[in-house]
Amino acid sequence: MWRKRVLVWLFICFSGFMLLLGRLVQVQLFAAENFSKHHINLLEASVQQRSQEMVLDHGRGNFHDRNGRPIAYEKKAVLILFPFLEKMEWDAERVAKIVDAPRTELIAAVAKSKQPFAFRSPEPLILTNHQMDRINSLKIPGVFAVEQKYPLEKVPAGQLIGITGENTAEIRQRYPGKDLSPQTLIGVSGLEASFDEFLLPEGKSKLVFHVDGDGGPLFGINVKYVDPANPFYPVNIKTTLDIELQKRAEELADQHGIIKGGLVLLDIETNSVLAMVSRPNISQQDPYNQNGITNMMLKEQIMGSVFKTVIAAAAIDYELDNPSRTFDCSRKINGEPDTTYEHGTLNFIDSFARSCNYTFGELAKELSDIDPNLIEEYAEKLSLTGPVGWQGSVYHFDDFKQMADEDIGRVFRKDQERTDKNFVALSGIGQHEVRATPLAVASMMAVIARGGQKEMVRAVSEIEYKNGTVMAEFAQAPLKGEEIAPYTAMKLQQLLREVVINENGTGRWFNDLPYEVAGKSGTAETGIFDHEQQLHNKWFAGYFPYHDPKYALVTVNLDVRSDQGGINPFFADMVKAVHDYNLKQ
């Protein structure tokens, strides 16, 4: 009987031993880098237990402006102190003298810290190159002067650049074949999301110091600077933004109280984004809130009278713009008396300058009679509908889109609307279902200024390797589809200039700017009410200088009352800002 008990006991012990051995084999050999449902890297965790580290750069790729200046971060030379200094004798007095800080502050900061840190007094202490050299020449374990990359609290062009975040499930879904840490930052929105695969880190740059069980330094082992071995990564995304113009545009948006809306500034020659502002801002407390993360400049908006530019283009080509023809601009589009805008009898040019709704409602109906698809065709010719952002083949991406969250815009939603006279007339003045993104409106102005040539809009010009060589280039490229004729573009240029120089034009406020401006205003009813008052989208879109076009500019203030939120001062101040910027160059 006792033999049977011994055998059973031995079997239980042997089984338990084999289970433990199997578990050990699993942990050591098969799950060392992906342990449990939490996907813990046991190798990294074991290293962390016997070392202290200071991350200098998480290794994700960077965004630069067109001149190579960083957009989302800044590098600072700082003093790094490790907490084990509290347990050893070190020359705090000498370090304090070099950095011009009280010795007691250094000692106190080390005493209360459990992790390596950049010394603050009380602001981050920024060192000179000479101070860095002197500190590092002391060769004190746990005391280092290094350059550290600091993400900006508020990133210029935040919605265009986008944000990042940690999401283990999304990492596995997006990159099933890549061995990435669960803590890897991935793009959530904007260019961060579009270029995410290029921006993924090869590894962190960090200072690592090995310590004993009590947290003290293991002498004889120097600090290690760990940096990804690949000399080509992380990459830099060279945007077309100009950081100075971008910052000035954001200042002006806030000065003019733009709560919802923004600005798009394009370089006409290269059809590239120089500045893009979207409001509301990204919330620092809740960055993933869609109200702030959404780029309003890429979302379709009701555009109002700016759309009359499309009707004018078609009217020119179909010879409906006879200078001797007049329109009763004291009437609404439905023919009833207009007691608000009693413009009287106007010809085609004056109708455009004063933005007469009756004229362009009538012209839209006449164009629809010629061909129900005509208005949409001209909207497409002027790049107003359809995506205008750069897209094409890059590496293994057959249809890569720089601005993947761009809306496409439209004129009509249903087929029967193309022949319904009331809907057509409303569409002719940019109401009803007419929608376009501010980016597309800026593109339309650039098309007209270039004489009709359509091009994709770029926000990024190149992807550069770490060593500065070009990994991929986003060359200027035409937009597919038909274009307006050079003659039509010339006539539109004259109409847009008339808006400013006509003594009754809706853009006469811009006649005294340092650059000659051509453009079109728009005030669209949104169908949204605030305390029984209709809210409006207020636009001004144009280009400058008129005789030598270089910039297309769109400003828009969304969902504001009719007696508030005027957009003209915002547009004017941005034109002045561009002029002042060019004077400094």
Length of the chain: 585
Question: Which of 269, 60, 76, 62 lies closest to 181, judged by CA?
Answer: 60
Given the structure tokens 């009701």, which residue do they identify? 302
Strand partners of residue 28: none
Question: Which of 548, 65, 74, 549 lies closest to 274, judged by CA?
Answer: 65
Concatenated DSSP letters of 275-342: EEEEESPPPSS-TT-HHHHS-GGGS-B--GGGGHHHHHHHHHHTT---TT-EEETTB-TTSSB-SS--
Distances (CA, A) of 490 to 55, 364, 448: 57, 21, 8
The single-letter code of the amino acid at 466 is K
The set of residues, in sequence order, having a beta carbon less than 8 Å from that of 448 and lying 6+ positions away, is 309, 382, 484, 489, 492, 493, 496, 543
Please calculate the CA angle 395-61-191 and round it to the nearest 5 degrees: 70
SS (H, E, C) 444-468: HHHHHHCCCCCECEECEEEEECCCC
What's the number of CA atoms in the CB half-sphere (13 Å) around residue 31? Answer: 12
Helix axes 438-449 and 486-501, enclosed angle (nearest 10): 110
Give dist(CA 81, CA 96) in Å, integer: 12
Out of 305, 351, 383, 427, the active site residue is: 305
Question: Which of 117, 4, 541, 531 lies closest to 304, judged by CA?
Answer: 541
Give dist(CA 66, CA 138) in Å, integer: 40
Contact yes or no for 263/275 (Cβ under 8 A): yes
Give dist(CA 386, CA 482) in Å, integer: 13
| Annotation marks residue 305 as catalytic | yes
Helix (H) or strand (E) holding 574: helix 568-584
Helix (H) or strand (E) holding 533: strand 533-544
Give dist(CA 268, CA 551) in Å, integer: 5
Q: Annotated catalytic sites, by residue?
A: 305
